[in-house]
Homo-oligomer: A and B are copies of this chain.
Amino acid sequence: METRLGMERIRAARRVIDPVFLDSPLYRCEALEPVLGCSLNIKLETANPVRSFKGRGTELVADQLARSDSRAVVCASAGNLGQALAWSGRHRDLDVTVVASRFATPVKLDRIRALGATLELVDGDHELARERAAAIAQYDGIRLLEDSLDLETCEGAATIALELVDSFSDDRPVVLVALGGGAMATGIGYVLKTLTPYVEVVCVQPYGAPALTRSWHARRVISTETAITIADGVAGRYPIPEVLEDLLQVADDAVLVEESSIVTAIRLLHDHAGLIVEPSAALGIAAILEDPARFAGRPVTTIICGSNVDQAKYRSWI
């Protein structure tokens, strides 16, 4: 396996990341099992100050910057990365700028502002925000944090998997990971394929934003014209070649799910697991709903990766 990631750096990352993001809950959720037909383990990445897993990666970036001469950083974000970078940056007195689509989930934008970051909105989707962030970085000569391309985001997310490796039985375990830009999927996949290669790693993306899944199956970058899904956290159109290369080596499969399944999964997690989740965090459950035979009787672990939702939309989903 030849990826950009490194196990030593991932293990070392645990010593840098604020403990509030580490050792998140991992527990069996039996109440959902009769509905899903499989054994279900939940890895909960929402019980922290930014309500998503992204703090694991931004802690690494912010730590580097705090020890360098440059104290300014800019990123494009659908909301969770920006929130996490703002949190990590505030703790280290960094100058954080976040570029987001003006169509991004409002509560995520509110939290970015509340955490003291400069927020710049673009009149387009996440891909335009990425362009704008790159332009700011070049113009201002500051650090550009690129989600999924920058190894800190992948290796930060990879620490989640270090907390999973002792939990698997040998009964064909599977881990379901939301797929967006690919940071979490490559990070978790890399650790699992290195330490527990018998665990099947399945990435899940919405049909409405299928670029990286399509690319994985085609083994080459395929972009899409649009990215239309309620799962705002994974709505990219331009996969990053380096990330695809890594993903091809660490993922066993990548599947697409319908919007209606995501909504059903959100509701099931609310009613049976007592969890408020954002759509991206429901992708794993949606994948089980769409292909129960594949997972029947197997021990399945899914990463509940975020819970930043707008209340009006959330209430309509549940």
Contact = CB atoms under 8 A, between A and B. Distances in A.
* Residue of A29, A49, A274, A311 most packed against chain B (CB within 10 A): A274
Interface stretch (A19-27, A121-129, A150-158, A190-198): A19-27
Interface string A265-294: 000001100111000000000000000000
A159 to B, nearest CB: 16
* Residue of A26, A28, A29, A31 most packed against chain B (CB within 10 A): A31
Contact of A307 (B26, B27, B274): B274
| Number of identical protomers | 2
A111 B47 contact: no
Contacts of A48: 25, 27
Interface in A304-318: 307-309, 311, 315, 318
A30 interface: yes
Contacts of A31: 111, 114
Interface residues of A, number: 31
B49 A27 contact: yes
A190 B209 CA distance: 53
A229 B162 CA distance: 44
Contacts of A115: 30
Interface in A34-87: 42, 44, 46-49, 51
A157 to B, nearest CB: 18
* Residue of A20, A44, A47 most packed against chain B (CB within 10 A): A47
Contacts of A315: 318
Given A44-B47, A274-B276, A308-B274, A25 B24 contact: yes
* Residue of A46, A115, A308 most packed against chain B (CB within 10 A): A46
A318 to B, nearest CB: 8
A140 to B, nearest CB: 28
8 contacts: A20-B25, A23-B23, A31-B111, A44-B47, A47-B47, A51-B274, A270-B276, A276-B276
A110 B276 CA distance: 21
B30 A49 contact: yes
B311 A271 contact: yes
Given A29-B49, A31-B114, A274-B276, 8 more contacts: A20-B25, A24-B25, A25-B47, A30-B49, A30-B115, A274-B308, A276-B276, A315-B318
A111 B272 CA distance: 11
A48 B31 CA distance: 12
A309 B274 contact: yes
Contacts of A271: 311
Contacts of A274: 46, 51, 276, 307-309
A165 to B, nearest CB: 15
Contacts of A275: 276
A299 to B, nearest CB: 14
A51 B31 CA distance: 11
A46 B25 CA distance: 10
Contacts of A26: 20
